[in-house]
Amino acid sequence: MEMLWLGVRNLGNGSTTRTVMRRFFSTSSFITISGEKGGGQIVRNSFSLAALLGKNLRIENVRANRDNPGLKLQHLVGISFVSSLCNGKLKGAYLASKNVTFEPGKFNQTKKKYTISTGVGVSVTLLAQICLPCLIFRSFPTTLILKGATNIKSAPQFEDLIGVLKPTLEKFGIDFSVVLNQRSVNSEQGAIKLVVKNSDYLKPIKLLHRGKITSIQSRAFVCGFTLNDAKIMNLAAKETLLTFFENLDDFNFSMEEIDTTKTSRGKGAWINIVAKTDTECILTASITVNSNLDFVEAGWNAGAMLGRDLVNFSTLDICIQDQVIIYMALAKGTSEIQIGTTFTKHKANAIHFAQLLTG
């Protein structure tokens, strides 16, 4: 099995991470990186690290190989918030921009509450990824209200944030709460509230043993569709998981169909499967139903995604692995996680740029 580990130097003379964040590095030099071979994660992680470490940043060829290259609204909203949080300077910050520069300044140490209103197609879970690292090391707790889609394709679902990412980040010593104010499916009319408590430093994590699977829960959600559609997703996911494991009863497998139509805005459907182990590992797979309304395919894909991670003895699922690398880079010490046999370009990019910005 292949093990991912990322060692990061101490942040200097025993000083806390918060002290480093408060320091303002006045330098004319820029760290220049190319976003040609990556997507939004390069933008999110690089901006967060540059702001925290006070390093001038230039990203060229942003998302150059994507169908719609350049900055999307999702990225523009996120980098604008980070820049405002640290009184930074942005150039090239506009829709479809392929080159952007960022000069961070001193972090605001007085404002305790922020609200970010977004537009169509902006995921609050992706916004949380760029905002959260920048709020951890402030001198006081911060309240952040994010308005946008809570459940949308090509982004982590709200259930991934609350059920998997949150408990994983708690292992680093990160303490934050998440409240769903309004669910919004493929719409900009939702909202979540995060309350992020301040920390002096992050603890390194070591997740090297998956352990025994203690439970697998498959939940299928619909908004504007029927519970039968949700059941189709669950049964398809179960069918696929049975190709990986002979008997799901050994893992306390359960299914639940949830209709959110009366409490949500928008329309859509998605499936979220969560596995837990006796070593406190939590792995998930979430898939949204595509425009062809293929509920069976969504269930199959979710089951296959989680099944692969579990049989590879990964201690974090393939999506969460990418998201924790920035916290591994900020932690004081060496963190290690077991990734099984899959090493994606996303992970390679996340590690490369974390090393570049923290080096």
Q: Which two tokens stand for residue 173?
A: 């010593």
Q: Give the closest residue to 77 by CA, choosing from 138, 148, 151, 152.
A: 148
Task: Give the 3-state secondary structure of residue 21.
Answer: helix
H/E stretch holding 78 reads helix 73-85
Phi, psi of 49 (to 5 degrees): -65, -40
Q: Which residues pair with 217 in a beta bridge?
A: 254, 274
Q: Alpha-carbon distance 302 to 200, whole Å?
A: 37
Whose tokens are 């199959």? That residue is 300
Sequence-separated (6 or more) residues with CB below 8 Å from residue 15: none
End-to-end CA distance of the chain, in Å? 28
Phi, psi of 22 (to 5 degrees): -75, -20
- Distance (Å) of CA 33 to CA 230, 328, 355: 43, 20, 12
Q: How far is CA 356 from the centre of its chain?
A: 20
The catalytic residue among 75, 209, 346, 352 is 346
Q: Is 346 a catalytic residue?
A: yes
Active site residues: 346
